[in-house]
Amino acid sequence: MQIDTKIIAHRGSRGTRPENTLVSFQTAINEGAEGIETDVHFSKDKQFIIMHDETVDRTTNGTGLIMDKTLGEIKKLDAGIRFSEEFKGTQVPTLQEVVNMLMKINFTGIFNLELKTNKIHYPGLERAVYEYFAGLRYPFQLIYSSFNGKSLEILNKIDPKAYEARLFKTAAKQAKTLKRSKVVEDFHPDIKWIKQHPFYAPARHLRPWVVNSTEDMQYCFERNMAAVITDYPGRAVQLRSEM
């Protein structure tokens, strides 16, 4: 069976490594992932911080909002210890550190950067991200995503060529509206939702998340979706090769 579905590692190889860390991204690539998904916020001093939550509480040994801390303060935190003792001392990366790592290995896959602006909208984040990438020559395919349609619209106004995907859990109507406005190219829906309600967009424009079970992976591979976003890229690579 010819399957063109790409495998994108959700926050890196999150099932086996501390999420959103350099070791997690490197592991995913070693496992054969063709894409990396990650989340970006602004620190107090407007540095790009790679983390999922708005606070550092769940994934580090610190507490408090990212936006209330400087990069220096965030760099002192341990982003590995809560996952396991083995990863004690792992730092929270900046966007630049992740990109440098990908450029060093000439990563030509997908770099899916989620603008984490759905709970806190960081003023100026879209422009800052655009300006950062505009000054670089990078080998990967950059795909921006966000649950916040406004963020995607802001970015689209700054850079109409930015490749954008709309994330959503259940808001089909919003997705349809955005599709009509031609702001976004693709959709990143919750796999649970997409299985309950057959989606109107062609499979080649879908990259569902979080596709972790064998059944869900098969569901996406059989429909030849554009990609799966998974915590277990190694398992997905293996399963795809067996189909």
Q: Which residues 204-233 are close enough to bind ligand G3P by CB under 6 A?
A: 209, 229
C-alpha–C-alpha distance, residues 3 and 181, integer Å: 30
Work out whether 114 is an interface residue with Ca ion (CB under 5 A): yes
Active-site pick, 52, 121, 188, 205: 52
Q: Which of 31, 34, 37, 54 binds ligand G3P (CB under 6 A)?
A: 37
Q: Is residue 235 within the footprint of ligand G3P (CB under 6 A)?
A: no
Nearer to ligand G3P among residue 39 and residue 78 (C-beta)? 39
Instruction: Indicate whether 14 belongs to the interface with ligand G3P (CB under 6 A).
Output: no
Pairs from 178-181 (Cβ < 8 Å, separation ≥ 24): 178/149, 178/152, 181/153
Judged by DSSP in three states, 56 sits in coil
Active site residue 197: no
Which of 179, 176, 118 is CA-nearest to residue 151?
A: 118
Task: Closer to ligand G3P by CB, 86 or 203: give it.
Answer: 203
Q: Within 13 Å of residue 112, how many CA atoms lie on the same side as its CB?
A: 28
DSSP 108-174: -SEEEEEE--SSS--TTHHHHHHHHHHT---SSEEEEEES-HHHHHHHHHH-TT--EEEEESS-HHH
188 in catalytic set:
no
Return the CA Rg of the chain.
Answer: 17
Binding mask 38-57 for Ca ion (x = CB under 5 A): -x------------------
**Structure tokens that stand for 235 in this block:** 């398992």
Site string for ligand G3P, 54-93 (x = CB under 6 A): ----------------------------------------
Is residue 22 close enough to count as binding ligand G3P by CB under 6 A? no
Residue nearest to ligand G3P (CB): 209
Catalytically active residues, by annotation: 10, 52
Q: Where along the sequence are the contacts to ligand G3P (CB under 6 A)?
A: 10, 37, 39, 52, 114, 145, 167, 188, 209, 229
